[in-house]
Amino acid sequence: MLFFTQCFGAVLDLIHLRFQHYKAKRVFSAAGQLVCVVNPTHSLKYAPTRCAVAQTSTEQSSLPPCHHHEAVHDPQLVPCMCPLFSCPWEGHLEVVVSHLRQTHRINILQGAEIVFLATDMHLPAPTDWIIMHSCLGHQFLLVLRKQEKYKGHPQFFATMMLIGTQTQADNFTYRLELNRNQRRLKWEATPRSVLECVDSIISDGDCLVLNTSLAQLFADNGSLAIGIAITTSKVHNSEAEI
């Protein structure tokens, strides 16, 4: 009987997973795209205490690294960049990915183009959906955040950051695409370095921003599918033209 129940549960899980994949595939046309189902995490960090230095700076491009704790004595060391938890960890940039995977259980996906399927969009703010994305020899951190910038009006903010320096990040362009209900919204930009604070990127609004009603138009049964593509950056055609 126990065996039967377990088998039935496993079959149900498979059907559910298949259904989620099917939904995301319906939304995105390119064959062979990897669909990643991302569950939400209620943010345990209290946003306003983070990155006070970064947020008062008027110069975005020269934002200092986001220090979550007292001081980093070795300039080669960087603090933990996990947007979800306050964490006393510090280490070299090269080992940030393994720290985020092992300590904060953030999944990592391979592939130039993936579909990020964020579930349970209805959950109250602040909520984060996070994955890492390995592509073109680098790792990127994708953050979708539901946050109330204006009280009582939650919005969704999505951005992609390179786990590396801003000089390295300048070599790439990321694209986020929503496509449903005869509407299509595309955002393309140079990723910021993860050394900048995700909070300051979101408070600047320099990312894909969706109000709740638009997010509902793009969502399917409470899940939002975001197509993600990363390319090596070339100067935009229009800007290259004289």
Q: Can you tell me which residue has the tokens 């899940």?
A: 223
Is 190 a binder of its own copies (CB under 8 A)?
Answer: yes
Is residue 214 within 8 A of residue 200, CB to CB? The reply is no
In whole angstroms, give the CA distance from residue 161 to residue 32: 24
Q: What tokens does 138 get?
A: 């680098």
Member of 134, 185, 223, 231 binding its own copies (CB under 8 A): 185
Member of 47, 138, 180, 231 binding its own copies (CB under 8 A): 180
- Min dist CB 57 to its own copies, Å, is 14
In whole angstroms, give the CA distance from residue 217 to residue 224: 9
Member of 58, 76, 167, 213 binding its own copies (CB under 8 A): 213
In whole angstroms, give the CA distance from residue 68 to residue 91: 13
Is 27 a binder of its own copies (CB under 8 A)?
Answer: yes
Q: What tokens does 187 get?
A: 């955002």
Member of 34, 86, 123, 188 binding its own copies (CB under 8 A): 188
The site map against its own copies for 114-133 (x = CB under 8 A) is --------------------
Is residue 12 within 8 A of residue 20, CB to CB? The reply is no
- Min dist CB 1 to its own copies, Å, is 39
> Of 76-84, 104-112, 128-136, 229-237, which segment contacts its own copies by CB under 8 A?
229-237
Member of 214, 222, 231, 232 binding its own copies (CB under 8 A): 214
- Min dist CB 213 to its own copies, Å, is 5
CB atoms within 10 A of CB 167: 9
Is 186 a binder of its own copies (CB under 8 A)?
Answer: yes
Is residue 175 within 8 A of residue 116, CB to CB? The reply is no
Give the contacts of 138 (CB within 8 A, at least 6 positions apart).
162, 163, 164, 168, 172
Q: What tokens does 35 get?
A: 């669909």
Cis omega (within 30 of 0) for bond into 48: no
SS3 content of the chain, % helix, strand, coil (to 5): 30, 35, 35
Is 206 a binder of its own copies (CB under 8 A)?
Answer: yes
Member of 21, 189, 223, 231 binding its own copies (CB under 8 A): 189
Q: Can you tell me which residue has the tokens 């955040």?
A: 145
Is 209 a binder of its own copies (CB under 8 A)?
Answer: yes
> Of 62-70, 92-100, 121-129, 177-185, which segment contacts its own copies by CB under 8 A?
177-185
The site map against its own copies for 141-170 (x = CB under 8 A) is ---------x--x-----------------
Q: What is the binding site for its own copies (CB under 8 A)?
A: 25-29, 150, 153, 173, 179-180, 182-190, 204-206, 209, 211, 213-214, 217, 233, 236-239, 241-242
